[in-house]
Amino acid sequence: KYKENMEKIPEEEIAIVPPTLGLKIIDELLTVTNEDIAELFINLLTNASTLSGVRYAHPSFIEVIKNISEDEAKIINEVYHRQQNNVQYTYLAKLDGGVIPLTDKVNNVATLLSLNFEENSTVYMENFIKLGILEDTSVYYDFQIDEFEKLEHILLEKKKLFEERVFEQQKNGKWLNASIILNKGNYILSSYGKSFVDSVTSNK
């Protein structure tokens, strides 16, 4: 696959791969069994073999690939390579002096592609943040409202339970000004994440 990639690159664009990068990638490819993860390593090696791509191919990207799952590799290839942002939201209890998260963040990544373990989508996002690839923001766009509405039913039952909980607290003279709000946002690529995605995906 690496040879096929290199055959598409003009000879004048080919560069010498830094040994600290190339040798480590080859070592990893000897043990990788998943095609999606292998593709990330091969693309990183390919981009490191070009004059325009070698400066972006950082050795730390190898460790990032080693710390992502098969599903996460698919998300990199099929979502972030296409420059898609995936929305997320959670319910918050708004109280005097602050807010309390009532649920884990729910996201729409499982609607953008087929995952082996859809129930782990929140864990995947948290791992990307830990690795420095994603940033969790409270920014969203009007055209994404439909995406939020598609997800809202997931936590609808939990919202009812929280409303009952708030009502019980208010009967006891607590949380008198409390309200339940829906906090919307986006997971977006960090600057480090953009460099990573550019280095480990195919420049078709």
Joined together, the tokens standing for residue 40 give: 């990330």
Is 50 in contact with 12 (CB distance < 8 Å)?
no
CA dist 154 and 150 (Å) reads 9
Joined together, the tokens standing for residue 52 give: 């325009």
**pLDDT tens sequence across 156-195:** 777 777 788 778 888 888 777 777 777 888 898 999 999 9
* 168-177 long-range contacts, CB within 8 A, separation 24+: 175/93, 175/95, 177/95, 177/96
**pLDDT tens sequence across 92-123:** 777 776 777 777 788 888 888 899 998 899 99
DSSP E strand boundaries for the chain:
86-95, 98-101, 106-107, 134-137, 179-189
In 3-state terms, what secondary structure has residue 18?
coil
The answer to whether the predicted template modeling score (pTM) of the entire model surpasses 0.85 is no
In 3-state terms, what secondary structure has residue 9?
coil
